[in-house]
Structure 1
Amino acid sequence: MQLYCFAGINPALVVEGVIPINTMLAIQMNICMVILLSSIAVHAYFKLDRKEQVNRLFLALIFLTILILILEILSVLLNSSNYTNLIILHKLVDTLGFTLTPLVPICAVLYVHRRTDKYDKINVNKLLWLSVPFAINSIISLGSYNFNWIFSITSENIYVRGPMFIVSPMTSYFYYIVNLQVLYNAREKINREELFILSLLTVIPSVLSIFQLYYFVYLTIWNSVAIAVVINYVFIVHSQTKIDSLTGLGNRIAYDEYLAISSRQSNIVLAVVNIDLDDFKSINDVFGHHEGDKVLRVFARHLEEVFEGKGLSIRLGGDEFIVLINENRREIVEKYIENLRNNINTYNEVSNNPYHIKFSYGLAIFNNTYNNIHELIQHSDKLMYEEKNKRVEKISCEIGQLMGR
């Protein structure tokens, strides 16, 4: 996965400044991909919420890929005996390219990590550890300008691989392996579709790089990276249609999609937890809708933290939530709910808000007494309202006893 000369055009094919037709086609493809990625970059810049770190990382991934593609185009065009007066520029382009190349897989690692675990901050020590191969590659790449370590440019302005050329691809492969490890660790937190889409950022360039390194032929590797980036952006845009804009949880589209998929299964394993916030209307009435929105976001975050990788958390509307879990053991699901209640109680204690966040829930596990999933959800919803009514009756009794005194 390198610039031109990273990409592997055989210098012997460049005779007296004549670039082969297949190489020219590759350049044209690179130009097309630059135009395509630039269009996507503009769309993503205005479409994605740049306050979110995961979106900033994806934008960085797009811009870095565009930059490398441009450098690759320049490297190919400058690799000609007709431009011996531009040897310095040629060396600068290749030096910059070899130096920046690992930044793309690094950015992919950080993006995948944040995409698969949005609440887990990357440890500073891990960042320092990840930066070591990049630092080594950068030193050797910059030194190649004078010492021809990774590459050299002949007096005829033709690129030749240097004795330490292997350092550059091995640095990229190091980050490919790290990325695959991140995906493997997150395999239970995300669905198979997302796992596959994210893996393309690593699988496509790593596989093509093997052919490029072995056969020394141009395989438009950076075009493949660009295609993987485009596919990921299509997936991001599609995913946004299934996300509640206020809380970041799934919305009714995600809810209907999940139920449709589950209903087609012959052996359904599903637990449903319907959740409704208590006294939410009074929070809105007394403290305003802005504070009410804050409560919804706080609750959604705790809901997602507890059920991430275990179930799909959805905001049905207002202060109504539902969690769909691939589980048929009641004690396991009740443990999750207990963790949620403990987390909310802890938040109430440290937040110093003049109100407390509380919730009622109904839990139902699918079995042969239900004809379909919709009956299961109706039963869960009924249990939730029964619990809510019991709470209201209990509070009313306590108030009555106090007034009786």
Structure 2
Amino acid sequence: MPVIEEILVANSVGLLVLIVSMLSRVEIKREKHLGVRIFDAMVWITFFALIAETLTFLLDGKPGKFIHFLQYLTNAYLFMASTAVGLLWVLFVDIRIFRSNIRIKKWLQILVIPVTAIVVLLILDFFGLGIIFSVDAQNVYVRGKLVILSYVFLFCCFIITLILAILAVKRNGHIRFFPVHYFVIPALLGTIAQGLFYGLSIGWLCTSVALLFVQLHLANQNAYEDELSGLYNRKYFGWMVEKFTGSLRNRFIGAIMIDIDRFKSINDEFGHSVGDDVIRSIGWILSNVSTANTIAFRVGGDEFIVLHIDGNEADIEQVSVEINEQIAEFNKTFEKPYLLSVSMGVSTCHTNNTSLDFFFHQLDQLMYEEKAQRDTKNGNCPENIK
């Protein structure tokens, strides 16, 4: 039988951990990129899960129809919350590693099927079917025959993220600063323990601690990210270049140097807040064309670099085409006071045969040649101001 005092202590500690985590995040003024919003959602879901779990144990066995309804509601929320945390963790890990909005959409298309199935079963349990759980006549919570489905889904989500991390390291080695295991290990151990021993209330406590671990380690990773664009920054780009001269030698590299056209004119005409919006927009576009082998960086005020690893010339040319297509679609879709336009230099090299300093210098020259051609063609008119 569960000991109420122990449950209250465990969940109170979990709530305290999350409150400290949330207060520390309030002090850090950062752009609310997709990854940040996903992490915030996980924190809030866990926060309310700790409260709901405490209520389920306090209400367990208490008489009354309203208590019966509350027992169903709180337990259903706990199962939906654990499912949501598993789903969000996959999305969070993927967006942190690959910076690709397209990949997030694909994961949602895949994971929405089991998530919907679990939600439907929980709704059916309201009518007393007891598939995932039931609340008996004495208002006591009883696990259902298929309660294992919720645990299996959560474990699969954890395994998926570990596989994503391992594959990304083997391919590109560019997630050095992302601690996937810091969340998976405590959350997994807590879930297993609570699943095996009913009344042992440590699952959500472990999840709270795991979220705090991730936040603390991401504070270090923030030094390698550009807050405004949501992409990796120049410091991380330098680290990647070092990798290409060391452990990642003998690799093919395709690269695109990108410079925003008329960026100074936009700043002068509309102010720096609109200029910041331009940077965010380019960051969003580059995230939409990112793949497992593509990494985008903001390396200067209005300069970006996209690296494509282990492909060929056709691959990097296709990436440049997709960038232009995304920009054209952006200009059609969004009502902005400016039209996005960029100049690009595209080139390839093999790390064994080419000096990387020379390669990136050549890339820079190609980009400025295209910019000069654009300026000549347009007669130096501010073409990206409406």
TM-score exceeds 0.5: yes
In structure 1, the residue matched to 2:237 is 255
CA–CA distance in 2 between the matches of 1:195 and 1:240?
10
3-state SS of the aligned residue for 2:247?
Answer: coil
CA–CA distance in 2 between the matches of 1:75 and 1:172?
19
In structure 2, the residue matched to 1:130 is 115
Match of 1:36 among 5, 8, 17: 17
Unaligned runs of 5+ in 1: 1-10, 400-405
3-state SS of the aligned residue for 2:344?
Answer: strand
The one-letter code matched in structure 1 to 2:290 is: F
1:105 aligns with 2:82: yes
CA–CA distance in 2 between the matches of 1:39 and 1:327?
43
Percent of aligned positions that are identical: 20
Show CA shifts across 1:43-84 (max 9, x none).
3356476965654443332233233334444556777xxxx8
CA–CA distance in 1 between the matches of 2:274 and 2:58?
59
3-state SS of the aligned residue for 2:249?
Answer: coil
3-state SS of the aligned residue for 1:363?
Answer: strand
1:157-172, aligned counterparts within 5 Å? 162=142, 164-172=143-151
The one-letter code matched in structure 1 to 2:345 is: Y
In structure 2, the residue matched to 1:322 is 305
1:368 aligns with 2:352: yes
Match of 2:342 among 347, 358, 370: 358
3-state SS of the aligned residue for 1:312?
Answer: strand
Match of 1:177 among 126, 148, 156: 156
CA contact (8 A) 1:283 1:355 kept: no
The one-letter code matched in structure 2 to 1:41 is: M
CA contact (8 A) 1:57 1:110 kept: no
CA–CA distance in 2 between the matches of 1:367 and 1:121?
34
The one-letter code matched in structure 2 to 1:227 is: V
Q: How many equivalent pairs are there?
A: 365
The one-letter code matched in structure 2 to 1:38 is: I
CA–CA distance in 2 between the matches of 1:224 and 1:302?
36
CA contact (8 A) 1:150 1:166 kept: no
The one-letter code matched in structure 1 to 2:144 is: F
CA shift at 1:265, angstroms?
0.9
CA contact (8 A) 1:251 1:316 kept: yes
CA shift at 1:341, angstroms?
2.6
CA shift at 1:254, angstroms?
2.5
CA shift at 1:151, angstroms?
5.1
CA contact (8 A) 1:278 1:360 kept: no
CA contact (8 A) 1:57 1:107 kept: no
CA contact (8 A) 1:102 1:172 kept: no
In structure 2, the residue matched to 1:403 is none
CA shift at 1:295, angstroms?
3.5
3-state SS of the aligned residue for 2:306?
Answer: strand
The one-letter code matched in structure 1 to 2:42 is: L
CA shift at 1:209, angstroms?
4.0
CA–CA distance in 2 between the matches of 1:143 and 1:391?
69
**CA 1:112/1:136 → structure 2, altered by over 3 Å: closer, same or farther?**
same
Match of 1:299 among 257, 276, 282: 282
The one-letter code matched in structure 1 to 2:364 is: D
CA shift at 1:346, angstroms?
4.7
1:149-164, aligned counterparts within 5 Å? 150=134, 152=136, 162=142, 164=143
CA shift at 1:242, angstroms?
2.9
Show CA shifts across 1:229-282 (max 9, x none).
222323444444333233222222332333344443152423332222334334
CA shift at 1:332, angstroms?
1.8
CA–CA distance in 2 between the matches of 1:266 and 1:55?
30
CA shift at 1:224, angstroms?
1.9
CA shift at 1:359, angstroms?
0.8
CA shift at 1:381, angstroms?
2.2
The one-letter code matched in structure 1 to 2:264 is: K
The one-letter code matched in structure 1 to 2:215 is: Y
1:224 aligns with 2:206: yes
CA–CA distance in 2 between the matches of 1:48 and 1:169?
41
The one-letter code matched in structure 1 to 2:349 is: I
1:342-353, aligned counterparts within 5 Å? 342-348=325-331
The one-letter code matched in structure 2 to 1:309 is: A
In structure 1, the residue matched to 2:228 is 246
CA–CA distance in 2 between the matches of 1:51 and 1:356?
22
CA–CA distance in 1 between the matches of 2:27 and 2:199?
38
CA contact (8 A) 1:173 1:206 kept: no
TM-score under structure 2 normalisation? 0.72
CA–CA distance in 2 between the matches of 1:377 and 1:393?
24
CA shift at 1:171, angstroms?
2.9
3-state SS of the aligned residue for 1:218?
Answer: coil
Show CA shifts across 1:167-205 (max 9, x none).
4442343354367568868966995568762x7656654
3-state SS of the aligned residue for 2:257?
Answer: strand
Unaligned runs of 5+ in 2: 382-386
CA contact (8 A) 1:112 1:183 kept: no
CA–CA distance in 2 between the matches of 1:30 and 1:193?
33
CA contact (8 A) 1:276 1:321 kept: yes
